[in-house]
Structures are given as structure tokens and as C-alpha cells.
């Protein structure tokens, strides 16, 4: 059984690129990090979204690419090599009104921490169709990240579908035109929700066509996606479009619900960072890294970078007195508004 001490120097919540990078840095600094990897769910498992990704071609250091699961296992083993301890449980409650901070796990385990790094990521929203989720998890041509996967050989010169009508869907569709034979945007309404400039760019692009007033009722394919079954939201008519890849762009939900409002969040639920280019949250001693605080880049390499930053900040915060440094941190936050 994994050792859990009464009081930890740093507890890291989450086990994606941000969490494991934070653990590597913290462990090498002899902070003996303890990682709550997560218990796993239908749409999120320990290791984060890369566990649902096949080949990753844009992570530096792997000239021939690397499988998403392999990358996460390498990060985990690297963290463990330096003395990180980890457990497959969720944190369901965090109390910052006392110090050390009090954390409660999904099995009722109580842990006290001198510092906390939140790296719980964000969950891609899916349409909720059984075959969509099956093909997404098996690498069958269904993805929630066009920038991550769109350039893969399997998607080149294919007809690719993008689901959504916001700015993210527009950006994905335009990005995919670099590789696709054609991009089909499927949207449930007769106009996009996206900003006018982004919508105009999509409508002006000759490689993009739009299926207006359509919803996906089924994703077709055994090993890989081959078609979408659509239903017209106005007439109810059914139709089918043949595709070689599907990109779902209907948003992400940051995994911040368990925090219970203890740190300030943006309107969209992501953790608000009071000081630009820092990982300190609104609570001194509690830091955030990765997609849980990044609603703009959402890339593995940028998540890893913020994991490094969070570990360094936690180390320095503790070195400067931890709770005794609270006033200094609060003054910094106040200085930037």
C-alpha cells in the first residue's frame, strides 16, 4: 500500500503532463511530493487526455512521435525514479481555512499539506454517442484536439468533420484545411455562435463546407470512423456524410468542481491566475498548472511547462516561510489589481 504521511510538503492533484512535471521538479528538490493520480471515470483516467491519444508528433524530443500512453508512462516513471509517491484516488475536498491545508480523498483518507498544486486538467465535452467514445478511446479517428492530431498521416487528404459552431470549432476547421481534402463543419443552428471575423473566415474558405441545422445521431465505423449519420433540426430528415476523421469542438470543462470555490475561478470555470505568468492562485500556497488554468493553449508541452513553474513556485514559497509569506503574496496580488 502506498505510504501516506500525516503531513506532506507538497500534494499534487492530477497526473497529466502538468502533474508529473511538477512531481519531477518537486522530487528532485527533495520535497517528497505525493500525487493523487485520480480514480478514473468514463471520460477521464489517470494520465489525462493523452491517455486517449494515439500518436503524439508535437511533443519535443521524440523525432518519430510517441504514443500518448507511452509518453505519460515515461513521465510517471521519471517522477517515481526521484522518489515521488502516488495513489489512484481523487481529492474530493480541500480546506484552506487551516494550515497545513486539509485534503480529503475519495476513500475518506485525510492528508495535510504544506503546499498544494492543482493539476486536474479539463475534460473535453463529447456528444455522448457510444461509438464516438469507443473510437476516441481506441484511436479510431475521433479526436477533441485538431492541433494535437490533425497533422497525423491518418487524417491527411481525408474528408474531416468538425462538430461545433464557436470560435474553437472555427479555429479547428481552418487549421484542418492545411491537411484535409475537405472539411465539413456540422452545426445545429443556421448561424455560428463564433465571432464574426472567425465565422467569415470559415465561410470564405473554399475547402470548408457547412452542414447547417444538423445534429449527429450516430458515428459510423468499426475500427475507424467512416461516416456520420445526421438529422436535420428543422425538418427531421436523416442524411449521411462520409468522412475519414472526426473532431469534436464543443468545448472543455475544467475539473474544478471539487474545489468548492476555495480559489477564484474565471467565468468559464478555469482557475484564475492573479499574477500573469505565475501559477500562484488566489490562495497563497495553492498553485495551479496545466489545462485547469489554461483555457487558451491546452497543449501537453505548455501544461508541462506550467507544472515546472508550479513546483518551483511552491518550493520558493516554502523556502520563504510558507504561511509567513502570505502577506507578501497578497501584496503582489493586490499590486496587479
Catalytic residue list: 145, 148-149
> Edge to edge, what strands does the sheet with 238-242 contain?
214-220, 227-232, 238-242
Phi-psi domain of 131 (left: phi exceeds 0; alpha: psi -120 through 50; beta: other): alpha
Q: Is 216 helix (H, G, I), strand (E, B) or coil?
A: strand
CA 284 – CA 118 distance, rounded (Å): 13
Pairing outcome for strands 159-163 and 245-248: parallel
Residue with cell 487551516: 98
Residue 226: closest CA among 299, 163, 142: 142
Neighbours of 42 (CB within 10 A): 8
Neighbours of 337 (CB within 10 A): 5
Q: Is 141 helix (H, G, I), strand (E, B) or coil?
A: coil
| Residue 187 neighbours by CB under 8 Å, 6+ apart | 163, 164, 165, 169, 210, 211, 212, 213, 214
State yes or no: cis peptide before 100, omega within 30 of 0. Answer: yes
Positive or negative, the CA dihedral 197, 203, 206, 208 is: positive
In angstroms, how far is the first alpha carbon of the chain from the final one? 46
Strands of 14-158, DSSP E: 34-36, 55-56, 66-67, 85-87, 91-95, 101-105, 110-118, 122-124, 142-143
Residue with cell 519535443: 60
Amino acid at each position: 500500500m502506498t505510504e501516506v504521511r500525516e503531513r506532506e510538503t507538497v500534494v499534487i492533484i492530477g497526473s497529466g503532463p502538468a502533474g508529473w512535471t511538477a512531481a519531477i521538479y518537486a522530487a528532485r528538490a527533495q520535497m517528497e511530493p505525493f500525487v493523487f493520480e485520480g480514480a478514473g471515470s468514463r471520460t477521464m483516467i489517470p494520465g489525462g487526455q493523452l491517455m486517449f491519444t494515439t500518436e503524439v508528433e508535437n511533443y519535443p524530443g521524440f523525432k518519430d512521435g510517441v504514443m500518448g500512453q507511452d509518453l505519460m508512462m515515461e513521465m510517471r516513471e521519471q517522477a517515481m525514479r526521484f522518489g515521488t509517491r502516488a495513489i489512484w484516488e481523487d481529492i474530493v475536498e480541500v480546506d484552506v481555512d487551516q494550515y497545513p491545508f486539509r485534503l480529503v480523498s475519495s476513500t475518506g483518507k485525510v492528508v495535510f499539506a504544506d503546499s498544494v498544486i492543482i493539476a486536474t486538467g479539463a475534460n473535453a465535452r463529447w456528444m455522448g454517442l457510444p461509438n464516438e467514445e469507443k473510437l476516441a478511446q481506441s484511436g479510431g479517428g475521433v479526436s477533441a484536439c485538431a492541433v494535437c492530431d490533425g497533422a497525423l498521416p491518418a487524417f491527411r487528404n481525408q474528408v474531416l468533420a468538425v462538430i461545433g459552431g464557436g470560435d474553437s470549432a472555427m479555429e479547428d476547421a481552418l487549421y484542418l484545411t492545411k491537411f484535409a481534402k475537405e472539411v465539413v463543419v456540422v452545426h445545429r443552428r443556421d448561424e455560428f455562435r463564433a465571432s464574426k471575423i472567425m465565422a467569415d473566415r470559415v465561410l470564405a474558405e473554399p475547402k470548408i463546407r457547412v452542414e447547417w441545422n444538423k445534429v449527429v445521431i450516430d458515428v459510423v465505423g468499426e475500427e475507424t470512423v467512416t461516416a456520420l449519420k445526421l438529422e436535420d433540426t428543422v425538418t427531421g430528415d436523416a442524411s449521411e456524410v462520409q468522412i475519414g476523421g472526426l473532431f469534436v469542438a464543443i468545448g472543455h470543462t475544467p475539473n474544478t468542481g471539487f474545489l468548492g470555490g476555495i480559489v477564484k475561478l474565471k467565468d468559464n470555470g478555469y482557475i484564475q491566475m492573479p499574477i500573469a505568468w505565475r501559477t500562484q492562485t488566489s490562495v497563497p500556497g495553492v498553485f495551479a498548472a496545466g489545462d485547469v488554468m489554461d483555457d487558451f493553449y491546452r497543449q501537453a508541452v505548455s501544461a508541462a511547462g506550467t507544472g515546472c513553474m508550479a513546483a518551483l513556485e511552491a518550493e520558493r514559497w516554502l523556502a520563504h516561510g510558507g504561511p509567513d509569506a502570505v502577506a507578501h503574496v497578497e501584496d503582489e496580488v493586490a499590486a496587479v489589481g
